[in-house]
Amino acid sequence: MVSQESKTAFFYGYFIVGVAFIIMFIFWGAFYAFGVFFKPILKEFGWTRAMTAGAFSLCSFAQGLLGIVMGKLTDKFGPRIVMTLCGLFLGLGYLLMSQLRAFWQLYLFYGVTVGIGMGGSFVPLTSTVARWFIERRSTMTGIVLAGTGIGALIGPPVVSRLISGYGWRVSYVILGSIILGLTVLCAQFIRRDPAQMRLKAYGDGKEGEKVRRQDTKELSFKEAVYTRQFWIVFSMIFTLGFCVFAIMVHIVPHAVELGISTISAANILATIGGASVVGKVFLGRAADRIGNRQTFIIGFILLSAALFWVLSAKGELILYLFAAVFGFAFGGCVTSESPMVAELFGLSSHGQILGVIAFSFLFGGAVGPFLLGYLFDVTGTYRWGFLVCAAISSVGLILTTILKRRES
């Protein structure tokens, strides 16, 4: 096999990273724009915030469940088939949203169909990157996941302007068409691992053996679930998903309630995405040096501080500062998720194990937005909801501090 050190050819793993970045950008740019569609849909149909946010929660739950399936399918068949299927479902879901007429359709079109498509948005791509890179694994994962942040940075403002110019229904048609075409095309260039192209993973060689030996003994999925580390990580990622999606869905309505314009509110959401890009790249690079657990500790400290801070935030500038700290923190945490799974459990069942761990993130993402919407409906303020988020984030920090590396 040819190693990445060969100077006569470009290492295909970098191309995998680039294609995965594009898919992440497309998927999550549209997904994070749900908060921008929130108000126009409420205005047209008169549903409660909890009812409307519930579709986002169902979508998060569905993509979490399907992420487990997609992870197992990626281990067995590779990411090309999986990502093609997910691109078809996701594009169809957004196209169907343009025809929304009834409450049950919101849950079917967005909660279920978009949820199935989003099932391939994290696990297949990050698991593939973990197989292509031994050295620089966290750095490359951070670059791929930066696509989600840039999508969140660009998606909400662009969608806000589309809605202003063409209405929310036409905006969904545009999103669906772009997703359908580009995702299916990009998926055709992804390969499961270097062996399919007679290559070795980056760092697999003389200079990479020391790094490779750091990987823990390979565990199957059934073996992994019997370890203490599995359930600590599962719970950590749940708290992260709870806070991230609760803020992503409700920060725009919260800003509008404070008298901030819709465009500025969308830009605050975009700031979270932009800051997460910095967090993913900077803390991803740092994780290769200081370790993924330490990166999680830094991330949860910043996340908790930002959530306690937003309780008293009133002005537009303060919300922008909150968004910057919050985005940087969660970006770093998300980047270390896949490499941490590889560190603790190995690569043989990485896709399936990561799928279950990612499900906990999306399960938290299903609970968080619904609970904050419910608390607002009951109290008329987001203050109690943000307080709950701050407390949940603090639990995540405690769990991270007690996580220890598994003995080989």
pLDDT in tens, the chain (408 residues): 555 544 446 788 899 999 999 999 999 888 878 878 888 888 888 888 778 888 888 887 888 888 888 888 888 888 899 999 999 999 999 999 999 898 899 999 999 999 999 988 888 898 898 888 888 888 898 899 888 878 877 888 888 889 888 888 999 999 999 999 999 999 999 988 787 777 787 777 645 444 444 545 678 888 888 899 999 999 999 999 999 989 988 888 888 888 888 888 888 888 887 888 889 888 888 888 888 889 999 999 999 999 998 887 778 888 999 999 999 998 889 888 888 888 888 877 888 888 889 888 878 887 898 898 889 888 888 888 899 999 999 999 999 999 887 665
Give residue 407's pLDDT.
Answer: 61
- What are 2's strand-pairing partners? 199
- Contact predicate 3/126, CB 8 Å: no
**Cα separation, 202 vs 396, whole angstroms:** 32
Return the half-sphere exposure (C-beta side, CA atoms, 13 A cut-off) of residue 121. Answer: 33
- Contact predicate 240/365, CB 8 Å: no
Q: Kindly give the residue spans of alpha helices, DSSP state H, lying in 32-167.
A: 34-45, 49-77, 79-97, 103-105, 115-118, 123-132, 137-166
- Contact predicate 133/80, CB 8 Å: no
- Contact predicate 297/350, CB 8 Å: no
DSSP label of 405: P
pTM of the predicted model as reported, rounded to 2 decimal places: 0.75
| 2 phi/psi in degrees, rounded to 5 | -95, 135
CB under 8 Å to 101, separation ≥6 — which residues?
A: none
Domain ranges of the chain: 12-192+217-402
**Cα separation, 277 vs 29, whole angstroms:** 13
Domain 12-192+217-402: state its class.
Answer: mainly alpha
3-state secondary structure of 202: strand
- Which sign, positive or negative, has the C-alpha torsion 42, 44, 46, 47? negative
- Contact predicate 251/375, CB 8 Å: no
Polymer length in residues for the chain:
408
Closest CA to 91 of 63, 117, 111: 117
Give residue 209's pLDDT.
Answer: 45
Query: Three-state secondary structure along 230-247?
Result: HHHHHHHHHHHHHHHHHH
One-letter amino acid of 245: F
Give residue 206's pLDDT.
Answer: 47
